[in-house]
Amino acid sequence: MTRSNRQLTQFAVDKLHQFLTIGPESFQAEEAGNTRVSFHSCTKCPRSTVKFCLFDKLILELIFSSSKPTVVSGLVIRAGDFYDSLGRPSRTTRERLNGLLDALGDAHFLPQNIRVFLREDGSCHLGKGEASKPFDKANSVLEMLAHPNDMVFT
């Protein structure tokens, strides 16, 4: 059977929508193919996170508001230690992240069209056009605050 990354990206997006709809009380961690989605509640603070893993490597962590458990307040985006020969995040990593970033834009937690993309010079960036940050082996973790209109890297 052929593996389709698109189906697995849709699985991750569906799990994100499920969490945003039902909240943490009824959310169940789940794994499909190479993708795992899980919920974590901090024992020392009122915050919670939803983690998206690819081949058991963390690629996206959504940090939720302590007062509103279905409101994203921040993101930690990771390359997941999967790189191509030029040190850019793998195609599968980029695709999975782009599906999730699109869903976060549609849900108004990020501006629309935030992407992991390859520039004409071959470098990989996260953002939109010139408003972006390098995202590669040397810059493998990026942090952002959730904001519907502005990209706020921390």
Q: Which two tokens stand for residue 71?
A: 């409101």
Predicted confidence pLDDT, tens digits, the chain (154 residues)? 344 568 999 999 999 999 999 888 888 999 999 999 999 887 787 788 999 999 999 999 999 987 788 899 999 999 999 999 999 999 999 999 999 999 999 999 999 999 999 999 999 999 998 899 999 999 999 999 999 999 999 8
Instruction: Give the number of other Cβ atoms within 10 Å of residue 124's Cβ.
Output: 23
Q: Note the pLDDT of residue 5.
A: 62
For 14, the enclosing helix (H) or strand (E) is helix 5-22
Distance CA 103, CA 87 (A): 26
Ranges of each domain in the chain: 5-146
- Total residues found in the chain within this entry: 154
Q: Note the pLDDT of residue 42.
A: 79
pTM for the predicted model, two decimal places: 0.92
Q: Shortest CA distance to 82 belongs to which of 70, 93, 71, 97?
A: 93
